[in-house]
Amino acid sequence: MTRKRRTQRLRRVDEVLRQVVSDELIVRGDPRLDGVVVTGVEASADVAHAQVFVHLPTNEHRRAKALEALDRVRTSLQARINAEMHLRLTPVLHFVEDQTLERAMRIEQLLSEHRPMVRDEDDA
């Protein structure tokens, strides 16, 4: 396994970061952020950076607007994190599109297309 195990402290930092960012996105009421869901956060070991995984709207136009809005609110989110959390460094946020749900749906679709048809026992 090439990835190091996350410490308990980092997992707590990740969760608090996720909660603060999620709450702030809701409070802002920016319509461009409608449908944006923070699915997770992973801070670097020194907490200088944090990847914020977000599920974005599927519509390309709305997705582009959401990414633009996230980029615009990045510094104010960092300021909110600084005020809320008592960390030595305030992490620089990097928004990453979380495509886990889309991938899971695509896998399910592929499996259902290739799954043999199972007959009901009543039909036999």
Question: Residues 57-84: pLDDT tens digits?
Answer: 888 899 899 999 999 999 999 999 999 8
How many C-beta atoms lie closer than 10 Å to residue 52's C-beta? 25
Q: CATH topology for 8-115?
A: GMP Synthetase; Chain A, domain 3 (3.30.300)
How far apart, in whole angstroms, are the C-alpha atoms of residue 76 and residue 82?
A: 10
pTM of the model: 0.76
| pLDDT (0 to 100) of residue 87 | 83
Output 88 or 102, whichever has higher pLDDT. Answer: 88
Contacts of 95 (CB under 8 A, 6+ apart): 52, 54, 67, 70, 71, 74
Task: Return phi, psi of residue 72, to 5°.
Answer: -70, -35
Output 95 or 117, whichever has higher pLDDT. Answer: 95
Nearest residue to 90 (alpha-carbon basis) of 27, 23, 44, 36 = 44
Q: What percent of the chain has pLDDT over 70?
A: 89
Q: Span 8-13, mean pLDDT? A: 91
Output 90 or 3, whichever has higher pLDDT. Answer: 90
Task: Quick: pLDDT tens for 37-47.
Answer: 999 999 999 99
| pLDDT (0 to 100) of residue 24 | 92
